[in-house]
Amino acid sequence: MKLYNTPYGAVSIDFPQVRVVGKQLQVRRLDDGKSTWSWFCTLSRKWMKYGEKNSKGHSSPVSSADIEKSFQKNPSGSFRFTMGGNTVEIKFREMIQVGQSRKRRVTRRPQFRNKQMKRGLTGVLIAALAGGSVGSRPQWEFEGDKGAWHVFKSRSGTSTNCSLTSDTIEAKFQQNPASSLTFTVSGHTYKLDFTAMVQINMLTQRTRRIRRVLV
């Protein structure tokens, strides 16, 4: 999300990383103590929730609640468990899962609550950036191969013909911010996962980050 006309100029907030992009500023999500937090790990370029079954019917040996309990005790520590006879460690500070042969990214996200969403951006962010203002029109974008962000457009009659637009995505998001949406680009089927904020190619399972900004 990009905020304009704040005391610090234009401010871009990266929600998955919980950081301000390109400025020496910090951002955090204030918890009212009622949030239920879930933990996810990247698997085959897709965010999978700990404890849930994957496409092959296999689930991790630990639950999201187990990891959150350990995190609450020591947010700078780590959580260890055994999987397939090997010791795996989740390092909270680096937000990575380290195994015997590879590392995977992990993330921690709050479960959606309607009342919290309605108060959310207009109250918390504006108060945090006193005197600042935000744009009024939501716009949905996806991350390209070189890190540039592109707006979802129909692009009819082109080689990258897309079946939806940014406005279509916003309408679905307003109905249920915890849902998903399928669409096609040049005959290929994709899925937008609002919870993980990624775009998934249903054939190759390749993912791209998506974001919702106010312009």
Which band of pLDDT confidence, cut at 50, 70 and 90, is reported for residue 164?
confident
202 and 162 fall within a common domain: yes
Residue 37 has pLDDT above 60, yes or no: yes
| 203 contacts 192 by C-beta, under 8 angstroms | no
Which of helix, strand or coil describes residue 67?
helix
CATH code at 170? 3.30.720.50
Structure tokens at 108: 């921690």
In the DSSP assignment, the letter for residue 162 is: B
85 and 153 fall within a common domain: no
- Give the distance from CA 55 to its chain's centroid: 20
The pLDDT tens digits for 120-154 are 444 445 444 443 344 568 889 999 888 888 899 87
146 and 126 fall within a common domain: no
51 and 118 fall within a common domain: no
Structure tokens at 199: 């775009």
58 and 31 fall within a common domain: no
Q: How far is the CA of 81 from the CAs of 61, 85, 179, in angstroms?
A: 8, 10, 30
96 and 141 fall within a common domain: no
Query: Looking at residue 9, what is its pLDDT?
Result: 77
Convert 159-185 to b/e letters by CB count within 10 Å (16 or more is b).
eeebbbbbebbbebbeeeeeeebebeb
Instruction: Please give the residue range of the domain that contains residue 44.
Output: 37-110
- In degrees and rounded to multiples of 5, residue 71 shows phi and psi of -65, -40
Structure tokens at 103: 């590392």
pTM of the model: 0.44
Rounded (to 5) percent helix, strand, coil in the chain: 15, 40, 45
152 and 174 fall within a common domain: yes
181 and 209 fall within a common domain: yes
Average pLDDT score over the chain:
80
Residue 213 has pLDDT above 90, yes or no: no
41 and 98 fall within a common domain: yes
- What is the percent of the chain where pLDDT is above 70? 79
Query: Could you give the number of structural domains in the chain?
Result: 3
Which band of pLDDT confidence, cut at 50, 70 and 90, is reported for residue 71?
very high
7 and 102 fall within a common domain: no
148 and 61 fall within a common domain: no
22 and 121 fall within a common domain: yes
